[in-house]
Chain A
Amino acid sequence: MVETLSADRPPARIDDEARRTQPRVRTGVHFMLGDHACAEGALAAGLDFFAGYPITPSTEIAEHLATRMPEVGASFVQMEDELASMAAIIGASAAGARSLTATSGPGFSLMMENVGLAAMMEVPCVVANVQRASPSTGLPTMVGQSDILQARWGSHGDYGIIAYCPASPQECFDLTVEAFNAADRYRVPVFILMDEIVGHMTERVIIPEASEIPHVPRKKPDFSPGAKRFLGYAADDDLVPPIAHAGEGYKVHMTGLTHDEKGYPAMSPDTHHQLVNRLVDKIRLNASAIERYEEFELDDAEVVVVSFGCTARSARRAVREARAAGIKCGLLRLITVWPFPEGRIRRLVEAGKVQRFVVPEINLGQLRREVERLTNLPVRRLNHAGGSMPKPDEILELIRS
């Protein structure tokens, strides 16, 4: 009935008493929309601040948080555009907030300006991009996976980045939690590259007890404010510097300009070279700790399907059916597309069993390019520009061919 509630949301017109008793972590088993699972994951991770601009197909994240954040005493702001949204979450994070925005392709493009700022200032934050068919306005309500390279290279200049690709509502929850932890651990902007199908899919989501939600704190200064000058850009061996927040007394300075260890503008080629290399290396050299992927039937595989997001669901079915038909076939499902699990692909190639790769994706070959640069083996592609996801039969056909 129209006035009833959707299956995974608290009542819209709930009384004040009930509202106050809504927990931050909704421990339990739910039947939940992917977008809502992302929002709940953010809340479970300790989300303090959301700024966003509504855009299909990510709107349900903002709508859900607009209801949920006041319940847990966190701040929800609908901004005037995506430029402002991205800037606002960086500002809030610089003041200590775990902060999130959610968008889709056109908004993601606008955010690129300040993604660069977050990378340069090394301010942790999380951006959920529910991908739709692009470029430009494209197909707003239909699926795409074509922001993969934009996620890696979208803002000008060189910098390291982390991007997760959930394939189910459960992963929308789990990987959002992980995204916040990775952002704080490495002082970087982190992307959750969802897609319309995963975002708009409803499936079982298990939310653990609050005490079981992993929490990685930010690395903080190891002395009291005023004891000495805080160096917010003097990195430790892991290439990640500690961070101090606005209002803590450390008199920080952060800038998008090339800067020295104090954070002060330092306009020299040497400083620049050193800084930018560290921004890239702190992800590159920590990649093995960041990378996440799932292996399915890979041990003896001669055909390896490399896939991610919603497409990986079809890929898994195709691999099952291929196996049933006696084909030695496996799936490498990327959970992080960035950093790209280069080492795993190289090891597969070096092991000598693989004869070819198959890369289905809802774009015209963005991930295939990454696989191709790591191997001379044939890389078969299955590309659709967007609007629908590859069917298992189509992938199976490519596995057989």
Chain B
Amino acid sequence: MNAATAGAARNGTASTWQIRIGGVGGQGIVLASKLLGVAASLYDGKEAVCTQVYGPEARGGAARSDVVISEEPVDYPFVTEADVLAVLFPEAYSKFRPRLRPGGLLIVDSQLVKAADDEENIIRIPATKIADAVGNRMARNVVILGCLIGSTGVVSREAMVEAIRNNMKPKIVELNIRALDAGIRFAETGELP
């Protein structure tokens, strides 16, 4: 299955999205989840909660950051069954894959993570390559975000752009908007920049 045909993952029971981003320290996964939360909560009129794992667990091995986005106030703040799991690190894939609900969407950086061949609802995105193409591989996390919102519609592009503008240093804002758009484009068309 390629990006263009991967299904958007909706939680059937409520208007709630449970999103987990897994990676390793330094990849900006906490920031990515926060940008998602900011976009949803401040610019898209939704409710959102972010949580992270702290301490020794978050150092070295696989780290994660959770975002729960809903039309209603979010009570329980953690991901129980992820609607979307995005991973940027092999260990994060093996560790968090069981938390993806059946039929949930898996997004992997295809250059960093080799997902099982029989994954069905998966987008394999060469996020590092795309980030390099738009100017800096450190923007990989935002490429993944673009892919995530492009394939699910969980928050709008406009809200994400606002989140980036208001939470990043001015000199890297344009780079990250390019990364976001490249991620969205890949999700929609499977095209590389």
Contacts and interface: CB of A to CB of B under 8 A. Distances in A.
Say if A and B assemble together.
Answer: yes
A201 interface: yes
Nearest to A60: B54
B76 A4 contact: no
A310 B75 CA distance: 9
Contact of A391 (B55, B56, B76, B167): B76
A140 B42 contact: no
B124 interface: no
B26 interface: yes
Contacts of B47: 204
B75 A202 contact: no
A31 B163 CA distance: 10
A1 B75 CA distance: 29
Which of B57, B76, B142, B168 has most chain A Cβ within 10 Å?
B76
Given A7-B34, A141-B54, A313 B75 contact: yes
B138 A197 contact: no
B54 A2 contact: no
Interface string A25-41: 00001110000000000
B37 A7 contact: yes
Contacts of A78: none
Interface string A94-119: 00000000000000000000000000
Interface in A6-34: 6-7, 11, 29-31
Interface string B132-173: 000010110110000000000000000000010001110010
A328 interface: no
A314 B35 CA distance: 25
Contacts of B37: 7, 31, 202-203
B41 interface: yes
Contacts of A140: 55
A242 to B, nearest CB: 42
A11 B169 CA distance: 8
A317 interface: yes
Given A11-B169, A140-B55, A391-B76, A204 B28 contact: no
A257 to B, nearest CB: 43
Interface in B44-73: 47-57
Contacts of A56: 54-55
Interface string B71-104: 0001111001000000000000000000000000
B52 A200 contact: yes
A7 B28 contact: no
A1 B176 contact: yes
B31 interface: yes
Contacts of B42: 29-31, 204
A153 B176 CA distance: 52
Contact of B77 (A11, A31, A204, A313): A313
B123 interface: no
A314 B142 contact: no
Listed residue (A5, A57, A316) with the most chain B CB atoms within 10 angstroms of its CB: A5
Contact of A202 (B34, B138, B139, B172): B34
A316 B75 contact: yes
A392 interface: yes
A140 B58 CA distance: 13
Interface in B27-42: 28, 30-31, 34-35, 37-38, 41-42
Interface in A134-157: 140-141
A3 interface: yes
B142 A141 contact: no
B50 to A, nearest CB: 4
A57 B54 contact: yes
A31 B48 CA distance: 9
Contact of B26 (A2, A57, A196, A317): A2
Interface of B: 26, 28, 30-31, 34-35, 37-38, 41-42, 47-57, 74-77, 80, 136, 138-139, 141-142, 163, 167-169, 172, 176
Given A1-B138, A6-B31, A392-B76, 19 more contacts: A1-B31, A1-B141, A1-B172, A6-B30, A7-B31, A7-B34, A11-B169, A29-B42, A141-B54, A141-B57, A201-B49, A202-B37, A203-B37, A203-B41, A203-B48, A203-B74, A204-B42, A204-B48, A313-B75
Interface of A: 1-7, 11, 29-31, 56-57, 140-141, 196-197, 200-204, 310, 313-314, 316-317, 320, 391-392
29 contacts: A1-B28, A1-B136, A1-B138, A1-B141, A1-B142, A1-B168, A2-B31, A3-B169, A4-B172, A5-B167, A6-B167, A7-B34, A7-B163, A31-B37, A31-B38, A31-B50, A56-B55, A140-B55, A141-B53, A200-B51, A200-B52, A201-B49, A201-B50, A201-B51, A201-B77, A310-B77, A313-B75, A314-B75, A316-B75
